[in-house]
Amino acid sequence: MLRPLLLVAVTALACSRAPASACPPAPVAAHGARAASPAAPRAPLDLTAIDAKPPAGMRFYYLAFLRRGPRWSADQSEANRKLGEGHMANIQRLAAEGTLVLAGPFLDSEGAGDLAGVFVLAVDSLAAARAAIDSDPAVKAGRFTVELRAWLAGDQIRTAQSPPPAAGATKPSGAR
C-alpha cells in the first residue's frame, strides 16, 4: 500500500515542475473508489471512416443508449401515452426492417437524465444509426436523448423477427 502512494507522491512532485505534456495522466482511484469526475462524452465512431473488417463470425453494430431527456416526465398524460405508443411503433418498424436487432428498457431508471433503455442497431454508418434514432417520436419530442457508440459483437444476434444470417454473412438479413 505504501509503494503506490509513494509513486503517486513522487510523480506529482516531478510533474509539478515539468511541462504538462511530459506527465502521465492522473492515476485512477483504486479499491473500488470512483474517479473524481466522469469521462466526457465522446463523439461516436463512424464505421465508414475506418478501414477495418470485423473478424470472422463478428460484425459492427451501433449501440444507442437512451437517457431520460429534458422533456421526460412520469405523468400519464394523453400526450405522453401517444409518445409511448409512437416509440413502440417505431421500435416495431425498425425491427421489421432489420435495422433494430434488440431493444429494451433498463429496469432501474430513477430520474431525469438516467439511462432509460438501449437499442442495438445493425447499420453500417453513423448516419444510418442517427436516422434510425431520429425517426423515434419520443427522441424528437425530447423525452429521450441518445448516445451512440460503435460496437463489435457476434453476427448471430437477432430478434424473433429476423431470419438467421446466411452462412458467411457479415450482417443480419435485411440490415442496411
Q: Are 85 and 140 in contact (CB under 8 A)?
A: no
- And the C-alpha cell for 103? 431493444
- Domain assignment present for residue 96? The answer is yes
pLDDT digits (tens, 9 = 90+) for 130-152: 999 999 999 999 999 999 999 99
Structural domain contains residue 141: yes
137 in a domain, yes or no?
yes
The whole-number average pLDDT for the span 103-125 is 89
Per-residue confidence (pLDDT) for residue 45, from 0 to 100: 82
147-171 tens-digit pLDDT? 999 999 998 876 655 555 555 545 4
Angle at 55 between CA 50 and CA 59, to 5 degrees: 70
**Which structural domain, as residue segments, surrounds residue 107?**
47-154
* Cα angle: 27, vertex 33, 36; to 5 degrees: 60
Task: Please report, for the domain that includes residue 85, its CATH number.
Answer: 3.30.70.1060
Residue 145 lies in a domain: yes
Cell numbers at residue 31, please?
479499491
Give the Cα separation of 25 and 17 in Å (integer).
15
Domain count, the chain: 1
41 found inside a domain:
no
Write the CA distances from 55 to 59, 128, 166, integer angstroms. 7, 22, 16
